Amino acid sequence: MKAGFIGTGSMGSILIEAFIHSGAFNPEQIIAGNRTIRKVELLAQTYPGLQVARSNREVAAESDIIFLCVKPSELKTVIDEIKEDVLPTQFVVSITSPVLIKHLEGLLPAKISKIIPSITNYVLSGATLCIHGNRMQPEDKEWLENLFAYISSPICVSENYTRISSDLSSCGPAFLANFIQSFIDAAVEATGISSEEATLLASEMTLGTGKLLTTGGFNPISLQKRVSVPGGITEEGLHILNEELAGVFARVISATHAKYEEDLEKAEHRFT
């Protein structure tokens, strides 16, 4: 099995490194290309055996599964470049959420899936969102999801819920990190605790909380109830959060969906 990557920017390189670290692929099984070839050369230096492609067509021609890890504005150009080299037996995986399955299937003869990764996949954790095209047979879906199980928890979602699912799984780490950093900054300013110590405490808390919510038998509501004693300190803090954050995430979701609709419209224009 040869895996090809077109695009080795932030998410493309994360996927390559995660697949290698997890043992899903050996470096020798990977061929990668990028507009800035130096980025691929650096990956090849880090992972000897990884093949540096000099063109996108080379990636397409030599791969069993092709990962399209480019910006929405670049995807149509890449597809037009490689479509003559793509075969019905190949898998094509796009990580670009605004480009719909129907757009991809309309231009490429391959088995198509859209997989939305997360930065958490870098540490072999978190979710990957799986949206499969009409040519994907049950055994194809199982194989692809088993591949992503090396680096994540694959979760099948409806394409209609791509944006909100991505908000929670892919944008969520940045939103959560923003909240945590604000908590750290407030702790440093109010008490004089060092930023390093506050960051360590908050980071370990976040790790432990994630475990409680995934394997510890808690959900967000039951965890709050377990930690919060009536009339206690945690309850006082939760009162403030409930007051100050009321409506914040509704506005966040409204903003991300508005941007997504804009991106969908642009993608529709490019592909039709």
Question: Which residue type is seen at 80?
Answer: D
Question: Does residue 247 come out as left (phi exceeding 0), alpha (psi in the -120 to 50 range) or beta?
Answer: left
Does 8 belong to an annotated binding site?
A: yes
Q: Pull the structure tokens for residue 269.
A: 């224009």
Does 233 belong to an annotated binding site?
A: no
Does 79 belong to an annotated binding site?
A: no
Residue 251, strand partner residues: none
Does 9 belong to an annotated binding site?
A: yes
Distance CA 176, CA 115 (A): 22
Does 214 belong to an annotated binding site?
A: no
Does 56 belong to an annotated binding site?
A: yes
What is the side-by-side strand order in the sheet with 91-94? 51-52, 30-33, 3-6, 65-68, 91-94, 111-116, 127-132, 153-156
Distance CA 115, CA 110 (A): 15
Long-range contacts, 141-147 (Cβ 8 Å, 24+): 141/113, 144/91, 144/93, 144/113, 144/115, 147/24
Query: Measuring CA to CA, how many Å separate 210 from each of 120, 166, 176, 206, 213?
Result: 12, 18, 12, 6, 5
Q: Pull the structure tokens for residue 46.
A: 């880090």
Question: Which residue type is seen at 62?
Answer: E
Binding site, annotated residues for NADP(+): 6-11
- Can you say which residues are annotated as belonging to the binding site for NADPH? 56
Binding-site residues sit at: 6-11, 56
